[in-house]
Amino acid sequence: MKIIVCVKQVPATNEVKMDPVTNTIIREGVESILNPFDTYAIEEAIRIKEKQGAQITALSMGIPSVVTLLQEAVSLGVDDAILLSDRAFAGADTMATAYTLQLGVESIGDYDLILCGKMATDGDTAQVGPMLAEVLGIPQITDVGEILEIGTDFILCRRMTDDGYETVKSKLPAVITVTKEINIPRLPSIAGMKRGKAAKVPVMTSKDFQLEAERIGLSGSPTQVVRTFIPSHDIASEVLTGSPTEQAEALIEKLREQKLLNW
Amino acid sequence: MSSIKVIDEKCIGCKKCVSACPFAAIQIENKKAVILDNCTLCGSCVESCRFNAIELTVDEVAHEDISTYHGVWVFAETFDGQLRNVGLELLGQAQQLAADLHTKVTAVLIGHPVKHLAQELIAYGADDVFVADDTSLKDFNDQSYTDIMASLVEKQKPEIILLGATMYGRSFAPRVAARLRTGLTADCTGLSIDLETKLLEQTRPAFGGNLMATIICPYYRPQMATVRPGVFATLPQDETRTGQIHELPVKKNPVDVETIARVLHEEQGVSIADAEVIVAAGRGINSPKNVQLVKELAELMGAAVGASRAVVDLGWLPYSQQIGQTGKTVGPKLYIAVGVSGAIQHLAGMSSAQTIVAINSDSDAPIFKVAHYALVGDCSELLPELIAQLKAVQ
The pLDDT tens digits for B184-220 are 999 999 999 999 999 999 999 877 777 788 999 999 9
Note whether B392 contacts A: Cβ–Cβ < 8 A.
no
3-state secondary structure B106-164: EEEEEECCCHHHHHHHHHCCCCEEEEEECHHHCCCCHHHHHHHHHHHHHHHCCCEEEEE
Q: Are A77 and A192 in contact (CB under 8 A)?
A: yes
Interface test with B, best of A142, A162, A224 (most B CBs within 10 A): A162
So what's the pLDDT on residue A237? Answer: 85
pLDDT grade for B266, boundaries at 50, 70 and 90: low
Q: Give pLDDT tens digits for B25-82.
A: 899 999 999 998 888 888 888 888 999 999 988 777 767 788 999 999 999 999 888 9
Report the 10 Å Cβ neighbour count for B289. Answer: 10
> Does residue A173 have a cis bond before it (omega within 30 degrees)?
yes
Nearest alpha carbon to residue A239 among B361, B362, B375, B365: B375
3-state secondary structure of B96: helix
Distance of CA A84 to the CA centre of its chain: 16
Residues of chain B contacting residue A174, judged by C-beta atoms under 8 Å apart:
256-257
Residue B270, pLDDT above cutoff 70: no
So what's the pLDDT on residue A25? Answer: 54
Could you tell me which residues are beta bridge partners of residue A5?
A: A58, A115
Report CB contact under 8 Å: B211, A228. Answer: yes
Maximum separation of any 2 CA atoms in chain A, in Å: 72
So what's the pLDDT on residue A1? Answer: 95
Q: Give pLDDT tens digits for B376-389.
A: 999 999 999 999 99
So what's the pLDDT on residue A185? Answer: 96
All residues at 6 or more sequence positions from B116 whose CB lies less than 8 Å from its CB, including other chains: none
Report CB contact under 8 Å: B260, A63. Answer: no
Over residues B10-32, the mean pLDDT reads 88
Note whether B299 contacts A: Cβ–Cβ < 8 A.
no
Q: Report in angstroms the alpha-carbon separations of B134 from B126, B168, B263, B341.
A: 21, 18, 23, 47
Residues of chain A contacting residue B357, judged by C-beta atoms under 8 Å apart:
251, 255
Residue B164, pLDDT above cutoff 70: yes
So what's the pLDDT on residue A233? Answer: 64
pLDDT per residue of chain A (263 residues) written in tens, 0 to 9? 999 999 999 988 766 665 555 445 555 556 889 999 999 999 999 999 999 999 999 999 999 999 999 999 999 999 999 999 998 999 899 999 999 999 999 999 999 999 999 999 888 899 999 999 999 999 999 999 999 999 999 999 999 998 889 999 999 999 999 999 999 999 999 999 999 999 999 999 999 999 999 999 998 999 998 888 877 766 778 999 999 999 999 999 999 888 888 75
Over residues B97-107, the mean pLDDT reads 97
Q: Are B127 and B134 in contact (CB under 8 A)?
A: no
pTM summary value: 0.86
Give the DSSP letter string of chain A: -EEEEEE-EEES----EEETTTTEEE-TT--EEE-HHHHHHHHHHHHHHHHH--EEEEEEES-TTHHHHHHHHHHHT--EEEEE--GGGTT--HHHHHHHHHHHHHHH---SEEEEES--TTT----HHHHHHHHHT--EEEEEEEEEEE-SSEEEEEEE-SSEEEEEEEESSEEEEE-TTS--PPPPPHHHHHHHHH----EE-GGGS---GGGSTTTT-S-EEEEEEPPP-----EE--SSHHHHHHHHHHHHHHTT-S--
So what's the pLDDT on residue A121? Answer: 86
Q: Which of residues 115-154 of A touch B (CB under 8 A)?
A: 121-131, 133-135, 138-143, 145
